């Protein structure tokens, strides 16, 4: 399979806590992207990390990439109820020229 | 609001019907995509258009027929669908095919009865 795999499949935390989601993939990549999807809606791009980058920040988001382990993590700090959504990683794989998405992590932030 | 608009938002159709899904973007993007999202499955890439030319068809049954009349519009024509085709159909666009950020529409929730 060319898709990434997110872990865990579901995560439930209290508001104010940090949420960490992981993504593993199998092939070499040009970049890896994280997207968010509210229930039944379209996906919204959050952050892109290139294969030569190890860490990237955007507001309360922190993304890491370990190409040797073919894995990435998304950390959301000081979570809010509005962060409740599904989060997907997408890999831009070398030579494929398309994005491949995983099944996502369903995050629930309890107020 | 991502700049990619899909209509209709919801569609219920019988197995003998013919319907079309529409996607529109005025972001100046050169690539447009159709994805299918079913419960508990990864997003499935169906079709890719780059500069109005179809560059990828991922083994999609012929009952799904895409059309890209210009760089701003993408259609998915549906005919004689099956109940298992019920899903959320997402359109996306990007500046160029592949490596850049994708902008998604809100999707069309399709139910085949």
pLDDT digits (tens, 9 = 90+) for A45-89: 999 999 999 999 999 999 999 999 999 999 999 999 999 999 999
Measured between CA atoms, the residue of chain A closest to residue B57 is: A98
pLDDT band (50, 70, 90) for residue B2: confident
Query: Comparing A53-62, A94-103, B20-29, which segment has the lowest mean pLDDT?
Result: A94-103
Q: Which residue has the higher pLDDT, A73 or A40?
A: A73
Residue A83 sits at φ, ψ, to 5 deg, of: -80, -10
Nearest-Å Rg of the Cα atoms of chain A is 13
| Integer angstrom CA distances of residue B41 from A80, A89, A106, B36, B73 | 27, 14, 13, 10, 27
Place of tokens 């079913």: B38
> What's the rounded mean pLDDT across residues B20-47?
92
How far is it, in rounded angstroms, from Cα B110 to Cα B88?
A: 6
> What's the rounded mean pLDDT across residues A23-48?
93
- List of residues 6+ apart from B38 with CB closer than 8 A: B44, B87, B88
The tokens for B12 are 């219920």
- Whether A34 and A75 have beta carbons less than 8 Å apart is answered as no
pLDDT at residue B81, as a whole number: 95
- A100 has a chain B CB within 8 A of its CB: yes
pLDDT at residue B99, as a whole number: 62
Residues of B in contact with A33 (CB under 8 A): 101-102
pLDDT band (50, 70, 90) for residue A2: low
Give percent of chain B above pLDDT 90: 75
HSE-up of B65 (CA within 13 Å, CB side)? 10
Do B101 and A45 make contact, defined as CB atoms within 8 angstroms?
A: yes
A2-38 as b/e, with b when 16 or more CB fall inside 10 Å? Answer: ebbbbeeeebebeeeeebbbbbebeeebbbbbbbbbe
The tokens for B67 are 């059309």
pLDDT at A99 over 70: yes
Q: Compute how many other C-beta atoms are within 10 angstroms of the C-beta atom of residue B27.
A: 13
> What's the rounded mean pLDDT across residues B18-30?
95
Do A43 and B104 make contact, defined as CB atoms within 8 angstroms?
A: yes
pLDDT digits (tens, 9 = 90+) for B39-90: 878 889 999 998 888 887 778 999 999 999 998 999 999 999 999 999 999 9
Comparing CA positions, the residue from B92, B90, B106 lying closest to residue B29 is B92
| Integer angstrom CA distances of residue A110 from A82, A87, A88, B27, B80 | 10, 17, 20, 36, 43
The tokens for B56 are 């990828």
What's chain A's average pLDDT?
92
């Amino acid at each position: 399979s060319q898709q990434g795999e997110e872990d865990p499949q579901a995560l439930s935390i209290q508001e104010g806590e940090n949420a960490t989601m992981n993504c593993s993939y199998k092939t070499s990549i040009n970049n890896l992207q994280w997207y968010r999807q509210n229930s039944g809606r379209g996906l919204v791009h959050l952050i892109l990390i290139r294969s030569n980058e190890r860490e990237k920040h955007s507001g309360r988001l922190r993304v890491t990439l370990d190409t040797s382990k073919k894995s990435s993590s998304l950390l959301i700090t000081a979570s809010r109820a509005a962060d409740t959504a599904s989060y997907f990683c997408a890999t831009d794989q070398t030579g494929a020229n398309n994005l491949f998405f995983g099944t996502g992590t369903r995050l629930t932030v309890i107020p | 609001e991502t700049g990619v608009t899909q209509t209709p938002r919801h569609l219920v159709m019988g197995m003998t019907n013919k319907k079309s899904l529409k996607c529109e973007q005025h972001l100046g993007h050169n690539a447009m995509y159709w994805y299918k999202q079913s419960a508990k499955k990864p997003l499935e890439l169906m079709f890719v258009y780059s500069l109005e030319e179809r560059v990828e068809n991922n083994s999609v049954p012929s009952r799904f027929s895409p059309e890209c009349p210009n760089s701003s519009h993408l259609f998915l024509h549906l005919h004689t669908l099956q109940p298992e085709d019920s899903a959320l159909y997402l359109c996306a666009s990007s500046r160029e095919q592949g490596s850049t950020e994708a902008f998604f529409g809100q999707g069309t929730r399709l139910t085949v009865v």
